[in-house]
Every structure is written in structure tokens, then in C-alpha cells.
Amino acid sequence: MVTKTTLRPDPTAGVRGRGDAFDPECPTRVVLDRIGDKWTALVIGALSGGVLRFSELRAAVGGVAPKVLTQTLRALERDGLVTRTVRAQVPPRVDYELTDLGRSLGAPIATLTDWAETHVADILAARDRFEAATGRP
């Protein structure tokens, strides 16, 4: 009898090379949680245009509470996707910018954003049909 063995990274040792998102023990799922967050996608998209201050970023994203934007930026900085630079001036200036890793996420985020913008009418129509057929939201 021949058995096939699949080598999977040890999640406690850190991932070396490529992870496996379908392995429930793989930390890749934490990464998917991060990039699947709507605020993360919008912040990455906004910063793809270049360096922004907090207020500029908040205006570009639209509808995000300052606390939520701060939490999102801290998480992105922790994950190595964004850098935060404090400028010594009065009043202090803080700039946010994508790292090389963050810039590498820009194209996939742009593709997903384009898909969402292209298909939003289809999704809303499907929801309406579902609600009409089932009586459930």
C-alpha cells in the first residue's frame, strides 16, 4: 500500500516558504483575515496612490471611524504592510505609506475592487431575487 504524505509547515515554528490556507493550523488564515477585512482593502487601495496623512487617508477611505482607522493602520504596520513616519514639526505630521510588501498587495486588491464595482448591480439583483423567493433577507 502506498500512501502520499503532504508536508505542512509547523504553525508553531513559523511558516517558511509557502503556507497552506486550507490547513486549519496554518497561520495563512490569519493573513487572509487581515486582507479580507474591508477597511484593510480600502486602506491598501488608498495608499496605493502614495503617501497620505491620517486625515487624507480617512477622507480617501470614507465612512471609517478614526478609532477603526487607527486600529487598522496599527495592524497593517504590525504585519509589515504599512510604515508610519512621524515628522518633527509643529503640529506633528504623521505620514502613512505602503512597504514593498504592502505594494505587492495593491494589484490583487485593485483587481478585487474592480470586480466588486463591476458586479455590484448583479449581486444586489441576486439578493433581491433571493429575498423575493424565500422571504428572508
Rounded to 10°, the helix 66-78/54-61 angle is 110
Give the three-state DSSP class for 72. helix
Q: Which one is predicted more confidently, 10 or 41?
A: 41
Say yes or no to pLDDT of 135 above 80: yes
Give the three-state DSSP class for 98. strand
pLDDT score of 17? 81
Which domains occur in the chain, in start order? 28-134 (1.10.10.10)
pTM check: above 0.85: no
Q: How far is CA 114 from CA 45, 65, 109, 120, in A?
A: 11, 24, 9, 10
Say yes or no to pLDDT of 2 above 90: no
Distance between CA 31 and CA 36 in Å, rounded?
8
- 8 A C-beta contact, residue 85 and residue 95: yes
- Binned at pLDDT 50, 70 and 90, residue 1 comes out as very low
* Section 68-92 average pLDDT: 95
Alpha helices of 1-137 — where are they, by DSSP H?
Answer: 28-36, 38-47, 54-61, 66-78, 100-134
* Section 13-20 average pLDDT: 74
* Section 100-113 average pLDDT: 96
